[in-house]
Structure 1
């Protein structure tokens, strides 16, 4: 039996039932690729065996090579041509991107540090002599956040006015007095609603507090001095004097004195509210504080009017005073006054901190 092809010369039936595939090679092929036949120590060179499957593979390879096309530079075809075109587009867009990026970087750099237009060289407006492009990029990221709230037109206008402010002379030190509107309202209510004995009272005077006060003052001017009325000239009889003495007893006199004291407190309070603003000259305040000053003056006018009404109510003892509207205004006066009490710098100097006004 042949050791290569498994041929058995003594068995003629082996062709009826072949069990092995037979390959036939010429001598040159055996000598070049199957040298182990003559020399067992030699190697086997790899080689391809032609057949139906190999032909199919060769056809597929040919189709793929045709789809790939030619690769020669400048004469590409097929997929090589498409790749060359895409590469051209890539190089083009990459260059455009770099050009745009460099232009943007230069624009940011100029806005941050250029000697003519840079934020760094405008500390009187932006307040930062160490400004650089990194800080600018950080602020841009901040304003791009969804949570960022841009300034309104009015706010920007106020910021511009504040930046344009000039250094002003310091204002005088201010030590405000404590306002007593709440205490005065309670005291007025007590005096107005206070009950006094009605025995031996002159009904006409008891019903009219204004007339009662007028007669009381006239009584003090006439007592022990005149026997005739200085107003109408009629004689003041002894009986009338006795009735006046009984009417203006100790309890009534005390109430009158308490009312006089209270009216003096009203005047003192009015003077205190006037003093709160009298030391300030509106022209000597920064623009933003001038608006607060004007609002404070309006509040002062309202409170003075309300105090005058309280004084009239107490003099006539008509009805308890109302404090409606006074509380909020008093609070605003204290709020406007507090910054001046803690530090006068907001009034006399421009802020030194960095302004958050976005540059144009």
Structure 2
């Protein structure tokens, strides 16, 4: 299916970008497009007709547009024939009628009968003569064939000159991509997703750089930093350090209690009390002599029997318990020292180079804090040993700084560096790809500057435009010659198809439109059968515009019905019906809807359907087609509007147009937009239909209020504004001078004054708001607006 359309320029469409105008919308299976007359509906249908004909329309041969298909394929004005690989398209519009049913009108406007109805639906005899004259020959020095010879020679010279310039620049880009970027690992490395670097890649990145070449250039420091990042290899993750609160405060309090604990011997020995060294010497001697010797190991004197009793009274159980407590605490502090010494096993080279500075900072914090902590533990041990040697004397700890919080902060700094390291491990590949891309774009930016790429490209583009212009002329002429020659060969073979086509058109005319009096009549014998249109068994020389529309549309639908019978191809068929309603009454509009419903919509064998219209009544019926109602997933609603009388835009249809089916709501919204003035009045196209819009709206609105049969529209208008003569006068002038031009032709040649439009529309809106507040609120709600 066709999903989007972008237009550089094509008739009324200029610089139209789908994603800007329609955001996340796409064309659906069924697409309903509303647009007023001259808004650009037929222009849009001609883009699709170019795709059907695989050649640009003669009035738009240098225009540019792009159709995006499901799957992302693109069809542009330069590869129209590629569309046939995916789908086939059939377009009904005014060009179709002129091309296939040109027999309906004479140049002076009178109607002439059918002479032949064929696959191309033109007069065969006249076409053959026109083809021969149009083709001409080289020998006669006239016609398309002769013109093509000269134009092809000129095109060949222009193409060679343009190719030389383009090839030179292409070679520069190709060599830079293949001989430098592709083989420089700091600029590009092959991956499974991107295995090589080509000229297409350098072109794409030049486009991405655009005019901002200087923004992509890098200073020396930045280049060195990026190169350093590219050299880094992936490293293993590092487990975070445990954050346990150090126990120094607890150690300090416990040691202080030990040092302050008082011990009194039951019978102290004075010499030992006064000499702590002697006392320690004696305490150690007890362990070496009791139950082991009878003489002194130092002097050899005998040991008296009462000696042990005296010493036991001096060295009591209480003092020994304290001594044991001191020893245990010293052992505990020694363990704490050992654990602190072995706590940190991290090495600088475990970290990425860019994170080693963070490691150095954390290590400096750790060294300072652990040094203080270790020194304080040593002081505690020293004080405990001193008390152990002089067990009976209490001691006081010196004032110490607790480095616990500094230790914790150092550990947290290490963990922050570890977390950054681990994150870098997971993101290193992406970081290096980004670094490589920055270096590559900087390289390309400098390259673009060095070769003066922009000016070179501008020169080539100038030559391209000349080549495209000339190429379009030659291509169009060549294809026209081929088409004319093919038509000439096939005309005689189409007689049987003509007969069947005529029969199918007659069936549609009789079945759907009740036109028993109009039919195609065969004349002559095969292979020279011709058909003429008859009314009541006589040639019909004066067909009305409505009858011409019916016959033309029946012919198109007959072709479509025939193509839909091919079940192998029908699901590829895209149908575009552009504004088929012209001078038809309500019954015929309904029957035309019925024809679309029964031939196309109901069987559901087509691929995609587009219907555009300016007729609100027909729009009402279209919303009832099979597959349309309450089916937002497969139905798209759009509007074509013309802005500033210069450009057409395809936009989402307003909600009221999707949800309502009366023209009354639409006319109210047009007038309400005008009444907003500078706040919203940015669509100058409204002014050209303002008089008609205002007249049609007030005719309906005043009739609802005063449904008296013998009251004219002017009388109803006067009654509605009976207390506001100024507004009545302004409104009357607008709806008479700008909707009926019989007596005001010179006035119709001038646009309505904008201030006058705003003033009149505001007066009407204010009147409705005042007299019918409920009706006014309901109208606002119906067009999805709120009162200001």
TM bucket (normalised to shorter chain) is 0.3 to 0.5
Question: What TM-score do you get using the length of structure 2 for normalisation?
Answer: 0.23
Question: What TM-score do you get using the length of structure 1 for normalisation?
Answer: 0.46
Compare the two structures and name the one with the higher strand fraction.
Answer: 2
Greater Rg, structure 1 or structure 2?
1
